[in-house]
Amino acid sequence: MNDLVIRPLVDATEARFCAAFMAASDPWLTLGLNVETIFRGLTNPAREVHVAELKHQRVVGALVLHLDGLLNGYIQTIAVHPEAQGHGIGTRLMHFAEERSLRHSPNVFLCVSSFNRRAQTFYERLGYQRVGELPDYVVQGHTEILMRKTWGPLRGFVPEK
């Protein structure tokens, strides 16, 4: 994966491409999130949005960060194109997200759906722990599991200038 670059999303075409592959797969399908809803999330100016690109080829992943919300350092969305999954791209995006988040906060939070077992294992392997549950949060019958990876308490943390 030496030829992978992570850079800001540049335009609506890239956002549409990512929204299309996300809307056609889980967890978005089961959560009932369509292309338009996902597209709005990817183009929200209040979020930091990055894509993973195989150099000079194509976009293969997307990452949406919410760095100044209530849960400071929140990974709102991470997605790797179905054809590119399982090759380390998601891990690279997670490390990138942690680096960005740690400029603001000693915690990184994310939510994962109760039915998304593979993603839960993926996050646990990266050091994330379950800290809460939000039953029926997005859709009836499924829980969103809140996970956190921490580098220490808020007190004593010095954000980067």
Long-range contacts of 25-34 (CB under 8 A, 24+ apart): 25/82, 26/115, 26/116, 27/112, 27/113, 27/115, 27/116, 27/119, 30/113, 30/115, 30/139, 30/142, 31/113, 31/138, 31/139, 31/142, 32/138, 32/139, 33/138
Interface segment toward ligand COA; rule CB under 6 A; list 6-14, 86-94, 100-108, 146-154: 86-94
85 contributes a contact to ligand COA by CB under 6 A: yes
Interface segment toward ligand COA; rule CB under 6 A; list 13-21, 42-50, 72-80, 129-137: 72-80
Assign 158 to helix, strand or coil: coil
**Contacts with ligand COA, 105-134, as mask; x by CB under 6 A:** -------x---x-xx-xx------------
79 contributes a contact to ligand COA by CB under 6 A: yes
9 contributes a contact to ligand COA by CB under 6 A: no
Question: Smallest distance, Å, CB 28 to ligand COA?
Answer: 8
Q: Which residue is nearest to ligand COA (CB)?
A: 90
The Cα 50–Cα 18 span in angstroms is 11
Which C-beta is closer to ligand COA: that of 67 or that of 147? Answer: 147
CB 84 within 8 A of CB 90: no
Binding site for ligand COA (CB under 6 A): 27, 78-80, 85-91, 112, 116, 118-119, 121-122
